[in-house]
Structure 1
Amino acid sequence: MHASATRYVRLMPTTGAVVVLAAGMLTAVGPAAHAAPAAHAASGASLPFTSVEAESATTTGTRVGPDYTQGTLASEASGRQAVRLSAGQRVEFTVPRASNALNIASSVPDGQSGSLNVYVNGTRLARTLPVTSRYSYIDTGWIPGAKQHHFFDDARMLLGQDVQPGDKVAVEATGTQVTVDVADFEQVPAAAAQPAGSVSVVSKGADPGGTGDSTEAFRDAIAAAQGGTVWIPPGDYRLTSSLGGVQNVTLQGAGGWYSVLHTSRFIDQAGSSGNVRIKDFAVMGEVTERVDSSPDNFVNGALGPGSSVSGMWIQHMKVGMWLMGNNDHLVVENNRVLDTTADGINLNGTAKGVVVRDNFLRNQGDDSLAMWSLYSPDTDSSFENNTVSQPNLANGIAVYGGTDISVKNNLVSDTNALGSGIAISNQKFLDPFSPLAGTITVDGNTLVRTGAMNPNWNHPMGALRVDSYDSAINASVDITHTTISDSPYSAFEFVSGGGHGYPVKNVDVTGATVRNTGTVVVQAETQGAAAFSDVTATQSGAAGVYNCPYPADSGSFALTDGGGNSGWSSTWSDCSTWPQPGQGDPDPDPNRDLARGRPASATGSQDVYTPGKAVDGDANSYWESTNNAFPQSWTVDLGSSYAVRRLVLKLPPSSAWGARTQTVSVLGSVDGSAYSTVVGARGYRFDPATGNTATVSLPGTTRLRHLRLTVSANTGWPAGQFGEVEAYLTP
């Protein structure tokens, strides 16, 4: 459990560090000099379902996001966007594949539960889909920089019929407000039959109706089936305590949609002789908080050598698998790990030859996949072809120490506060710790919207981070065939997160494609060196390189040009300031709201009605200035200079907001210092009968980055008020 892995306390560098460049740094070379990279395996797991984003579907609800601000609902959503439904509102999905099952990731307000009506091609199903906040809104005050998080949760149902590509499946809020993030469509096969010679837990007294306690029946079946198979028929089974002494046995169910165990601690054992096979059932926990001293895990400890876990559905645990002791040559594959309050899978030292592949992990409250070399090194182990989505308090994939580790062909998306998509780190947490050694292979990974603002640093973490937190990195770190897209901040970060300036050395980055970074391609913050070859970048938000080691006198970071690099030759020149993220294409779609999610400030605000409420994508929340103190100003930094042509000013659309006129002037600046008037003061009418919206036309002849609205009067309230300020390039 490593959210504390980001307990960085950093000071802003005050002086620039030396930028050491080899001759010809970051210049393009002809194709004859560098052949195209070899074809590579697709990133991510082979999944039995297809996901459809709610914001891409038809809806009568309200789209929220995109937003990268820690603690907001949209920032934890897949794609950083979702759809909010009030009672009677719906979102309708076009079915992407033949399916008979549906899983919905959604959020309801804290302390509430509700349900969704489900419609297939316009016909409402008799069953509803329950949704709840029971497993959400986690507080971890002992983790520096953490805010309340873990807003979304998964709920599933069998549709009772087959639907085909192109059919329509809709979900509708029945009473409680529901924010729908994503829908997974799946064709679930029929329940598997009992294997010959297996011992059924029902024959030992287990209750498939879920009323009785089936713990002793499972223990008796395991004892009776040594060397064979324990069969878990379709049903719901309640276990009230964990299982131990599990070895030399197969635990097999009829499939994760049919054989369901309800327990928050499934296997808890310090050791095993091994040869354990766990496959094809679901374990649903009841973990509603994160308590690190409690082993509320699907597997806690060791399964023993030569074991495997496959085809499992694991949900609502603290950790999916917290593996200690001898788990040599364990294979973990084709599992789903959802909605854990801490890690998804953590190889907690001593792992040798462990392979974790083709798994899907969503909504973890810490690292989704981690190796931590405590007590002895994880060795010759790998994370391969996994899909990780929405870890909300740490990294998608993290390697803390270890020898000869591989991270290959994974797809990671939408990391939130305190996390990178992939972190290769020497942060030890505890002793004895085994730092990175041998060769660390990071190959063929795809990172989408990864990296996040670190509130402890007060500056961002890159999509892929190499971190000499507690000691120098002396291993060879080979980063090859990487695709990084839409990072809200930087692509590659090299840092000594503990603030000691330990070097990051022996890093080779080859064959990377970087698209649309919010700030820079390379964020170097410690001494050391890295070589770059065939790294191409497009649409970087601020510059190509930020090279400012901390502490400032700790030494320089050398970027060596191996040839074939293009699109990131510029260097951020001022080490006293951090680049501001564009969080998108610096030459955006003209229909995009340039102000949404951007940093906002004001001359004053009232109570919780802070400046950021006017750019959060939700007109129901609003900024209100200090009362009875006209004039008051509200300012937003758009991240880059634009020829803005139109502003849309909104107040909450509720009829409770009576009509009013606000007198507003518009000022602009390219540097945040000198402002000039763009549109003089005039009255703008806001009327709930017409949506409480006013439009301001700008001449568009002047480019501006900082947009300031000054309110000098309001006929409806003695303060300036904006529910949303939207800025567009189109008139």
Structure 2
Amino acid sequence: MRRTLIAATVAALALSLTGPVAAESAAPAPVVTRAGLDPALVAGRGARVAFAEQEAENAATNGTVIGPGRDAYTLPAEASGRRAVRLEPGRHVEFTLPASANAITVRYSIPDAPGGGGITAPLDVTVNGRDRVTMTLTSQYSWLYNQYPFSNDPGAGLLHPDWWITECSCVPAATTPPPVIPKPFRPSHFYDEQRLLLKRTYRAGDRVRLTAPAGSAAAWTVVDLLDSELVGPPKIELLAASVLAFGADPTGRRDAAGAFDRAIAFAKRKRLKVYVPPGTYQIDRHIIVDDVTITGAGSWYTIIKGRETALPRPAPDGSTHTGVGFYGRDAADGGSRDVHLSGFAIEGDVRERIDTDQVNGIGGAMSDSTIDGLHLRHTKAGMWFDGPMSDVRITNNVIVDQIADAINFHTGVTNSLVANNFIRNTGDDALAMWSEKIPDTGNTFARNTVQSPVLANGIAVYGGGDNTISGNLIADPVREGSALQVGSRFGAEPFTGRLDITGNTTVRSGTYELNWNIGLGAIWFYALERDIAADVRVTGNDFLDSTYNAIMLVSEWSVKDLYAITNVHFKDIRVDGTGTSVVSARVKGSATFENVDARNVGAVGVNNCGSFGFPATGSEFSLTDRGGNDGGWLAPWLLPNTITCDDRPPVVPPPAPSPWRGGRR
């Protein structure tokens, strides 16, 4: 009975989010989007990708459109664009191809098993009513519950009953009588995606129909979007050490780890590349790489898969499991150099979050190295580097469906580049520089696309110096974070030198912080463990359709009188839509504003609480108007430090973003 009730509750999460059932209709013209928006609104931002994105809610369907909605722990909130289509068995959604394509990616959600662990269900794919192929969807890598570090069990009690939770506004373990906490508690991480090479190349205008067949084991199938792509032929390397020559099985039936090790050793002796031909290769442990080039036939053709495997005893680093991954040597052992990885996919088997486990797609320390054109999914973190290390170039990768981060530069990573990567559905910060113990310096995150990070931030910088965040597109963060964060937290070294945040676009950003019961800004600065006093330049960014504030500067209540945020400069900013204010200041300090234009602002332009001392002289946070701030949001009466503190004003959903007349100054 308990499992039946839990299953009914999980199903209700989707079934209650109903919209009108669409009537059967002719296939509309294709609507291609980027981050759920007209591509013209985000031109020049984010990754250049080979596929065309189409949202299911814009396609022809006899299913039900769910959303829009931004409340955490709901299916619409985790969907791209905050809407999707729910199909009951027998229902379909049909997309019109905008260009020739021979491959598709489907982002979807299906229910969990009553006791957790996931189910499988079919999804029929036809083109123009013919050439049916059945995809087998799974929820085995979805559906996490409860408090950090989460659980796969929908019936589990609170993992931390000694933590304050907003659901009862109490600490359950310290409350009499104890509160009744509904189960499943805080379900999340609903979506997964699958790729499919079609039987042939289809033309623009052909219709791809996705049908949840009658009799499906899934009571419902939610389709979020379809990406269509024209994939080129496999790449062939003739002058290379092929892993097949060393016994690798391209069918995936036999373990190939030893064959990869032998091919790498031979290639290093002969100064050759290692080539991994088309096929699926089973590897259930780390492959250690140093001074070697490994290339595949392309990420659609060369698939390296692995099962997560329990270790007989914990490793020295605390890992209790291992799994497929390419790792440089530990930094303590000198790290690896001259590693070049390209043209293959890594598919892991990580279904739970154990932070001590090294079950990442790429790991260790790699200097003077490149990682290009990989497709990573179902690992804990796509790439997690533990420095010191320098000069790594990470480009043109697709990283999806991660339990934690996509890419993290942890501890002393310097002079490195992350550019033109596409990231969707991470379980923690999508891109992060974390200067724990040793600062990250001289790094650049440029022209990446981040969509739907389920937890934390799209891009986060924790300490370090002379780093740059430029030209990125970040959309739809869900909870406990936002699009961009600058934070003195997690034991990070101080910010030094200059931090440039330039030419980025955020979309539908700013989440509700459950612990504080307030909304966050699309970009937020957080002084938790020390001052933020470096030269921070926020220039040429667009903040579109922010759920709450566009800009937030904040400290924790317990340290509000200790730390300040100063020397932050905002220039040439466009704010198109905020649910509340343009700026929310909940910390002592100061910032300057020049040519910050805002429209469709839901509340007073500046929510200035300072550090909550409310002195007669005004707020402890000051704003300097350097001119050109249009839209009436920075009125003279607000300057320099008028107290306007209202942390929880009514949220006014703004209209959808639209083109901005005129160019930048």
The answer, yes or no, to whether TM exceeds 0.5 is yes
Tell me the equivalent position of 1:193.
236
Q: Aligned to 2:441, what secondary structure does the other structure show?
A: coil
Q: Does 2:184 match 1:161? A: no
- Provide the rounded CA distance (Å) in 1 between the counterparts of 2:657 and 2:284: 57
* Contact 1:499 1:550 (C-alpha < 8 Å) held by counterparts: no
Q: Does 2:305 match 1:240? A: no
- Provide the rounded CA distance (Å) in 2 between the counterparts of 1:366 and 1:586: 27
Query: Structure 1 residues 478, 95: closer, same or farther in 2, change over 3 A?
Result: same
* Contact 1:360 1:387 (C-alpha < 8 Å) held by counterparts: yes
* Contact 1:446 1:483 (C-alpha < 8 Å) held by counterparts: yes
Q: In structure 2, which of residues 460, 467, 476 is the aligned counterpart of residue 398 of structure 1?
A: 460
* Contact 2:278 2:301 (C-alpha < 8 Å) held by counterparts: yes
Which structure's residues are more often helix, by fraction? 2
- Provide the rounded CA distance (Å) in 2 between the counterparts of 1:586 and 1:216: 54
- Provide the rounded CA distance (Å) in 2 between the counterparts of 1:490 and 1:81: 22
Tell me the equivalent position of 1:181.
224
- Superposed, 1:441-590 pairs within 5 Å as 441-497=500-556, 499-501=558-560, 502-552=563-613, 556-567=620-631, 568-569=633-634, 575=645, 577-585=647-655
Deviation at 1:498, TM superposition (A): 6.0
- Provide the rounded CA distance (Å) in 1 between the counterparts of 2:556 and 2:139: 34
Tell me the equivalent position of 1:60.
62
* Structure with larger RCO (C-alpha < 8 A, sep 6+): 1
* Contact 2:587 2:609 (C-alpha < 8 Å) held by counterparts: yes
Query: Structure 1 residues 439, 458: closer, same or farther in 2, change over 3 A?
Result: same
Paired amino acid for 1:88? G
Q: In structure 2, which of residues 370, 389, 405 is the aligned counterpart of residue 308 of structure 1?
A: 370
Tell me the equivalent position of 1:216.
258
Query: Structure 1 residues 587, 131: closer, same or farther in 2, change over 3 A?
Result: closer
Paired amino acid for 2:634? S
- Provide the rounded CA distance (Å) in 2 between the counterparts of 1:573 and 1:369: 35
Q: In structure 2, which of residues 128, 153, 156 is the aligned counterpart of residue 121 of structure 1?
A: 128
User: Could you tell me the percent identity over the aligned residues?
Assistant: 38
Deviation at 1:439, TM superposition (A): 0.4
Aligned length: 542
Q: Does 2:166 match 1:107? A: no
Paired amino acid for 1:552? G
Q: Aligned to 1:415, what secondary structure does the other structure show?
A: coil
* Contact 1:265 1:299 (C-alpha < 8 Å) held by counterparts: no
* Contact 1:235 1:259 (C-alpha < 8 Å) held by counterparts: yes
Deviation at 1:219, TM superposition (A): 0.8
Deviation at 1:350, TM superposition (A): 0.8
Tell me the equivalent position of 2:144.
138
Q: Aligned to 2:245, what secondary structure does the other structure show?
A: helix
Q: CA RMSD in A?
A: 1.9
Q: In structure 2, which of residues 259, 272, 275 is the aligned counterpart of residue 228 of structure 1?
A: 272
Q: Does 2:295 match 1:295? A: no
Query: Structure 1 residues 421, 566: closer, same or farther in 2, change over 3 A?
Result: same
Paired amino acid for 2:197? L
Q: Aligned to 2:578, what secondary structure does the other structure show?
A: coil
- Provide the rounded CA distance (Å) in 1 between the counterparts of 2:282 and 2:527: 45
Deviation at 1:550, TM superposition (A): 3.2
- Judge which range, 344-353 or 560-569, deviates more: 560-569
Paired amino acid for 1:89? R
Q: In structure 1, which of residues 204, 228, 234 is the aligned counterpart of residue 246 of structure 2?
A: 204
Output one character per residue of 1:641-674: Cα deviation in whole Å (capped at 9) or x when no partner: xxxxxxxxxxxxxxxxxxxxxxxxxxxxxxxxxx
Deviation at 1:147, TM superposition (A): 3.0
Q: Aligned to 1:539, what secondary structure does the other structure show?
A: strand
Structure 2 unpaired stretches of 5+: 1-41, 114-118, 150-162, 166-184, 307-322, 659-665
* Contact 1:541 1:582 (C-alpha < 8 Å) held by counterparts: yes
Q: Aligned to 2:414, what secondary structure does the other structure show?
A: coil
Query: Structure 1 residues 535, 273: closer, same or farther in 2, change over 3 A?
Result: same
Tell me the equivalent position of 2:346.
283
Q: In structure 1, which of residues 262, 270, 280 is the aligned counterpart of residue 305 of structure 2?
A: 262
* Contact 2:388 2:411 (C-alpha < 8 Å) held by counterparts: no
TM-score by length of 1: 0.72
Tell me the equivalent position of 1:81.
83
- Superposed, 1:14-93 pairs within 5 Å as 42-93=44-95
Query: Structure 1 residues 473, 59: closer, same or farther in 2, change over 3 A?
Result: same
- Provide the rounded CA distance (Å) in 2 between the counterparts of 1:287 and 1:515: 39
Tell me the equivalent position of 1:97.
99
Structure 1 unpaired stretches of 5+: 1-39, 589-731
Query: Structure 1 residues 472, 513: closer, same or farther in 2, change over 3 A?
Result: same
- Provide the rounded CA distance (Å) in 2 between the counterparts of 1:91 and 1:465: 38
- Provide the rounded CA distance (Å) in 1 between the counterparts of 2:103 and 2:336: 38
TM-score by length of 2: 0.79
Query: Structure 1 residues 498, 274: closer, same or farther in 2, change over 3 A?
Result: farther
* Contact 1:314 1:320 (C-alpha < 8 Å) held by counterparts: yes
Tell me the equivalent position of 2:177.
none
Deviation at 1:291, TM superposition (A): 1.0
* Contact 1:149 1:393 (C-alpha < 8 Å) held by counterparts: no
Paired amino acid for 1:173? A
Deviation at 1:166, TM superposition (A): 2.3
- Provide the rounded CA distance (Å) in 2 between the counterparts of 1:374 and 1:569: 37
Paired amino acid for 2:371? V
Output one character per residue of 1:122-153: Cα deviation in whole Å (capped at 9) or x when no partner: 22x33212211110012352357793311100
Output one character per residue of 1:347-371: Cα deviation in whole Å (capped at 9) or x when no partner: 0011110100000000000000000
- Superposed, 1:595-606 pairs within 5 Å as none
- Provide the rounded CA distance (Å) in 1 between the counterparts of 2:406 and 2:657: 38
- Superposed, 1:637-656 pairs within 5 Å as none
* Contact 1:265 1:295 (C-alpha < 8 Å) held by counterparts: no
Q: Aligned to 1:297, what secondary structure does the other structure show?
A: coil
Tell me the equivalent position of 2:11.
none
Paired amino acid for 1:135? Y
Output one character per residue of 1:163-211: Cα deviation in whole Å (capped at 9) or x when no partner: 2222211101122211000111111110001241x11111111110000
Query: Structure 1 residues 351, 195: closer, same or farther in 2, change over 3 A?
Result: farther
- Provide the rounded CA distance (Å) in 2 between the counterparts of 1:412 and 1:56: 21
Query: Structure 1 residues 56, 424: closer, same or farther in 2, change over 3 A?
Result: same
- Provide the rounded CA distance (Å) in 2 between the counterparts of 1:552 and 1:48: 53
* Contact 2:458 2:484 (C-alpha < 8 Å) held by counterparts: yes
Paired amino acid for 1:578? R
Tell me the equivalent position of 1:365.
427
Larger Rg: 1
